[in-house]
Amino acid sequence: MSALVGPAFLMGALSFLTLPTFIHWAWALVSALLACLFFFCRRSLLGWMAFGFCWTSVYVLLAWHPLDSSLQGKTLEVEGTVEDFAVRMRGGWRFEFLVRKEIHGRQLPSRIRLSWYGGDRVSIGQRWHFTVRLKQPRGFRNPGGFDYERWLFARRIGALGYVVRDGRNEPLAEGEGLPAIRQRLADAMDSQLDHESMRGVVKALTLGVRDEIDAGQWQVLRATGTAHLMAISGLHVGLVAGILLVFSRGIGLHLGMERLYVHHGAALISLLGASVYAGLAGFSLPTQRALIMLSLGLGAWLWQSTPSPWRSLSLALLGVHFWDPLAPLGAGFWLSFLAVAWIFFQITGRLRSPPPWQSAIMIQAVLLLGLSPLTAFFFSQVGWSSPLANAVAVPVVGLLVVPLALAGCVAWWFEPSWGGTLWHLASWLMSWVWRGLEWLSGLGEGIWHQPPQSAAVVVLALLGVLLLIMPRGLPGRWLGGILLIPLLLPSVKRPSPGEAWVSVLDVGQGLAVVVETAKHVLVYDTGPRYSDRFDAGSDIITPFLRHRGWIHLDRVIVSHADRDHSGGLSGLYGLWAPELWTSAPGAFPRIPGHPCTAGQRWVWDDVAFQVLWPLAETQGMENDRSCVVTIHTRYGTVLLPGDIEEKAESLLIEKYGDALRADVLTAPHHGSSTSSSWAFLQAVKPRLVLISSGYHNRFGFPSDRNLARYQAIGAQVSNTAVAGAIEIRLVPGLEVREYRTFEQHLWSWKP
């Protein structure tokens, strides 16, 4: 089999996965006929490409059935099974649910994600009857942000929703088999490691439960490039299989068994042990991929064959992708196969083999250099402390911590105290490793951030790395450095002096606006804080700023203290430490701030900013004390009124009159019926009204009355709930870009 079969199949699949929308079934049939034609004409690579397109398209068309819009928000009755561990969140639980039966004949997606506020804890494998309300799979859409919709699509989750409190919610049967075993082990670990800081880490390494690792621990893992250790994937499964293979083979040979039987028995034990470990992780997709690759490798070893490493890798790529056609949507798929490819390149085809210690160092160096282009592409960052951190953490975690934790699972089944002792030992070892990781993460700026790059730049960089690590004596190796220049020195677009780019980010029910000039950047309001793990400041605004290539943040203005406008402040300040202006400095005692008061002015790059409100003596409701800011450029004006309501609007009209006129207006109070008075709109006369509101929010924002007023005044209206992030470029012609319009994918939610 050609070493290009796997890549050819992958290219065909990618040609489908990169389409902006779904295709008709007829195209799948056409691709199947083309595959047969190419194979008949002995154009096998073209045949594999067509087959990859056909296989992926048929799989998606059969497996992906998102919630029908007609069922959105309706009360439905469902029966099914809890698929994985329930995750504790503020006020309740969140879990994935496999729908086995739709009451009243409603056609629902087979897998949904539910939140249960104030509900009981659910266990894996339990059968339940729930009363639910669902919505289509949808997430925030911002440049540089996490693509939640792609994540849902890759996991085949066709609807999001919540359990209705006063509905019929009752368990029908307890979990059995493997799900019940996983739940019992998780409960036992919680009991045995109750007050230990490494409890979440040990559970992640053993059972694949990563939601109990806190935000601070994730920050250390990302800074040191060791976050991959918390995913039970090919590395862990391979190490466990290797340990079992070596031990079982050694024992068999020591007992004098026939070599052929020893090899077959050791391979079987190795594969069985790896399968058990994958089962403890719930047979997640990464473990399924690892088992496929392990089976191929053990099969080649048993049959005493020595296939080309590249053919083996190609076959593994074909097998993994055939089993899971959506695997390429995850960064782990690309990073794992590329890592194996770099290792093969480093250890094969050499005239002389270096000493093991030198080979290990070279492999770490090659992996850092070779994976950096993809790491920068997927995560817009590279951890410089990664080689040293992984050189210590990988062997300790893989050869000591994981085996101890797994041995504890076996021992606990016979005697709980034995299992607890082994888990404590694994936790103690991990705590020592953690001290080293924390020290490395604190060594200055351990992460290099950069704007995301195009696929073409990444391919050039990978070719450059390949040239640089070629054997000595090859002419032209220095050209590899030239190919790395676009990656190392990315071009960053900025407004010209006198221009401003204003982006209203999609933060759900809240507000966050980023204003960019040629050399400065301002954030107006920081959106909400959704949980201890997710807030708009660190998880939406910061990725956007990194995406734009900013390395500093000049100023943050928090219009008022309401959580949907200030919830992301602490996360943003912890990463950027900007200057803070706000109408409520007393609400943020841990962050030094200045009161924003009418009359404050400043100019950045020929762009004028002015605070219009509040007056120093302004009293009343928090909303009416919002900082109101206007941005003047030679090409247009933007008015940011926060959450002011009709009382403050009338006072602004009295004070400023026609000076309130602006081309762009962010809707006061998200388009609430208590704001956007007709007199205020007449004074502002906006050409464009931008609304930042949550999709199907419980407040009913924006109100129908205000939408009619915006239309009557002749303004174009754009809402983040439908458009995603909205970018206004104050340039000649006033450019408007809605992120959902120009970033369309198969999995994207369509209004």
Cα within 13 Å of Cα(596), Cβ side: 30
Q: List pLDDT tens digits, range 582-599.
A: 998 888 988 998 999 999
* pLDDT class of 683 with cuts at 50, 70, 90: very high
Domains in the chain, please, with CATH?
A: 5-63 (no CATH), 69-175 (2.40.50.140), 181-449 (no CATH), 500-742 (3.60.15.10)
Average pLDDT over all residues of the chain: 87
Q: How far is CA 724 from CA 134, 142, 542, in A?
A: 20, 6, 17
pLDDT at 297: 74
Q: List pLDDT tens digits, range 87-124.
A: 888 788 999 999 987 766 668 899 999 999 988 889 99
3-state secondary structure 313-330: HHHHHHHHHHHCCCHHHC
Contact 562, 526 (CB under 8 A): no
Q: List pLDDT tens digits, range 452-474.
A: 778 888 899 899 988 888 877 67
Contact 71, 99 (CB under 8 A): no
pLDDT at 617: 72
Out of 30-34, 385-389, 623-627, 715-719, which region has the weakest mean confidence (pLDDT)?
Answer: 385-389
Which pairing describes strands 92-102 and 111-117: parallel, antiparallel, or unpaired? antiparallel
Q: What's the rounded Cα separation, in Å, for the pair 439 and 292?
A: 37
Q: Is 723 exposed, middle or buried (0-12, 13-18, 19+ CB in 10 A)?
A: buried
pLDDT at 242: 80
Mean local confidence (pLDDT), 380-391? 74
Q: What per-residue string of b and e applies to 122-149 under the rule 16 or more CB within 10 Å gives b?
A: bbbbbbbbbbbbbbbbbbbbbbbbebbb
Alpha carbon distance, N-terminus to C-terminus of the chain: 45
pLDDT at 620: 67
> Torsion over CA of 141, 520, 558 and 733, rounded to 10 degrees?
-60
pLDDT at 350: 61
Q: List pLDDT tens digits, range 286-319.
A: 777 778 778 777 777 667 665 677 787 888 888 8
Helices 402-414 and 177-192, axial angle in degrees (round to 10): 100
Chain centre distance of CA 640:
30
Ranges of H-type helices in 527-632? 536, 542-548, 563-566, 569-576
Q: 593 pairs with which residues across the strands?
A: 580
pLDDT at 276: 86
Strand (E) or helix (H) holding 609: strand 607-613
Q: What per-residue string of b and e applies to 217-247 under the rule 16 or more CB within 10 Å gives b?
A: bebbbbbbbbbbbbbbbbbbbbbbbebbbee
The number of beta carbons lying within 10 Å of the beta carbon of residue 551 is 10
Strand (E) or helix (H) holding 706: helix 704-712
Q: What's the rounded Cα separation, in Å, for the pair 185 and 123?
A: 12
Mean local confidence (pLDDT), 21-26? 84
- Six-digit token pair at 422? 């082994």
Name the DSSP letter for residue 667.
Answer: P
